[in-house]
Amino acid sequence: GQNIDQPTEMTATEGAIVQINCTYQTSGFNGLFWYQQHAGEAPTFLSYNVLDGLEEKGRFSSFLSRSKGYSYLLLKELQMKDSASYLCAVKGTNAGKSTFGDGTTLTVKP
Amino acid sequence: DAEITQSPRHKITETGRQVTLACHQTWNHNNMFWYRQDLGHGLRLIHYSYGVQDTNKGEVSDGYSVSRSNTEDLPLTLESAASSQTSVYFCASSGYTTGELFFGEGSRLTVL
């Protein structure tokens, strides 16, 4: 089975940096995704890690340590529009079936 | 542009009725998935399909069924709707590279 943990809520200030952690215990691992979901909308893809290390994409970076079952999403230069839920998901097979954590609701304050 | 669409976007029904939620994708993806999302929770997998005539149960499949007669469509049927099935339902598809999911806009179902 899959067990994925991430904090329920986080608050940060506009312009700051925030790190959202995700730990997982899975029976199979073929990659980890981060998705962003604004209230009332569908999730959208942010990042994908399959090898250990840091993947940077603009203001967003994602890190993976497979040996520790740990990932984080780093958001820099926070903007008000970054207020959303961030979902960590583990792909268990190459065919793409993903298991999601409960999500972290990030609130960015002025 | 390729897309994935769901219908209806909102539906209210009564306990015991059969309900079908439609999902249509033009990405030409073989993999399609149905998830449900309840307040304060992440996405839980209901059913999925890796191609035409292939269907598989997810972690919360009881009371739901799917069929895959072509590449583009994966309708989700609630055989006898229950109040516990009040939720937001998301359809998604993925290709063969990273397996990232492309989601539809969601269907909000209320069972009274």
List Cβ neighbours of A17 (8 Å cut-off, separation of 6 or more). Answer: A74, A75, A76, A77, A78
Q: Over the stretch B10-47, which tens digit does the pLDDT of each residue have?
A: 999 999 999 999 999 999 999 999 999 998 778 999 99
H/E run at residue A54: strand A53-57
Q: Over the stretch B59-90, which tens digit does the pLDDT of each residue have?
A: 999 999 999 999 999 999 999 999 999 999 99
Residue pLDDT tens, chain A, 110 long: 679 999 999 999 999 999 999 999 988 888 999 999 999 999 999 999 999 999 999 999 999 999 999 999 999 999 999 999 999 999 987 566 899 999 999 999 99
Rounded to a whole number of angstroms, the distance from the CA of B59 to the nearest CA of chain A is 10
- Which residues in chain B touch residue A102, judged by CB atoms under 8 angstroms apart? 40-42
Q: How many CB atoms lie within 10 A of CB B75?
A: 17
The tokens for B42 are 């992440």
Q: What is the spatial distance between Cα B33 and Cα B18, in angstroms, rounded to a whole number?
A: 20
Pairing of strands B107-111, B10-13: parallel
Listed by number, the residues of chain B in 53-72 with a beta carbon closer than 8 Å to a beta carbon of chain A are 58-59
Task: Kindly report whether the peptide bond that precedes residue B8 is cis, defined as omega within 30 degrees of 0.
Answer: yes
Quote the pLDDT of residue B81: 97
